[in-house]
Amino acid sequence: MRRQLLTLSIALPLSLHALAHEHDEHASLGAHEHGVASLNLAIEGAQVQLELDSPAMNLLGFEHAAHSPDDIAKVKAVQAQLQQADQLFRFPAAADCTLASADLDSSLFATQHDAEHEHEHEHEHEHEDHDHDGAHDHDEEAAHHHADIEASYTFNCAQPDQLTHLELPLFAVYPGLERINLQGITPKGQMGAELTAERATVQFD
């Protein structure tokens, strides 16, 4: 088994970029499934990269653009929570990992732009006062009701030899998340795992 993994690690390109590319191909086949998310992991030297790609439903509970104060507050709370990577992903303490960067990406996070857009519409309505515009807005929104959230993290680990496993408290934080399909590249080779709340730890060896 060990020997097989070593062979794979030589044969396959050792970069997260390759995994990400593979993932894109899957996504184009329609990978948006509520309850399911994908996680790409790459351990290269002292650096660990994680890329979480999830339907917004799993993390946020909805996928429409936030307009109500409650929805806007929820989006902000999820954004803030996703920045707290150490509460979502836990490496062994002995590996001494610290979060170096966290990048979030989602059409639902573009609140500034949406707010401006909304403001323009309000003005139009004041001048024209037609119901047609309102109905059209609704149609537009219904057409884009699916949305994803991507979160990318880089960790630097002082003792990468101690990176024996990864635990995902993420499941406890987001009950809407039922399954994570993990693809990883570690010094031991390429790996895959299916994680759930009951099986929220992946071993690297």
What kind and span of H or E run contains 45? none
Smallest gap, in angstroms, from Cβ of residue 60 to Zn ion? Answer: 10
Which residues would be at the binding site for Zn ion (CB under 5 A)?
A: 55, 63, 146
Tokens representing residue 91 in the block:
């490496």
Smallest gap, in angstroms, from Cβ of residue 171 to Zn ion? Answer: 19
Separation between Cα atoms, residue 27 and residue 124, nearest integer Å: 37
Q: Output 176 or 187, the one with its CB closest to Zn ion.
A: 176
Sign, Cα dihedral of 31, 32, 37, 41: positive
Smallest gap, in angstroms, from Cβ of residue 87 to Zn ion? Answer: 25
Q: Which residue is nearest to Zn ion (CB)?
A: 146
Q: Output 88 or 108, the one with its CB closest to Zn ion.
A: 108
Separation between Cα atoms, residue 137 and residue 148, nearest integer Å: 21
Q: One-letter amino acid identity for 116?
A: E
Radius of gyration of the chain (CA): 20
Q: Output 51 or 63, the one with its CB closest to Zn ion.
A: 63
Separation between Cα atoms, residue 156 and residue 45, nearest integer Å: 9
In order of 83, 159, 193, the CA distances from 151 in angstroms are 9, 24, 19
Q: Output 37 or 170, the one with its CB closest to Zn ion.
A: 37
What kind and span of H or E run contains 54? strand 47-55
Q: Output 148 or 155, the one with its CB closest to Zn ion.
A: 148
Q: Output 78 or 166, the one with its CB closest to Zn ion.
A: 78
Separation between Cα atoms, residue 92 and residue 48, nearest integer Å: 13
Smallest gap, in angstroms, from Cβ of residue 3 to Zn ion? Answer: 42
Backbone angles phi, psi at 195, to 5 degrees: -115, 145
Smallest gap, in angstroms, from Cβ of residue 178 to Zn ion? Answer: 14
Smallest gap, in angstroms, from Cβ of residue 177 to Zn ion? Answer: 13
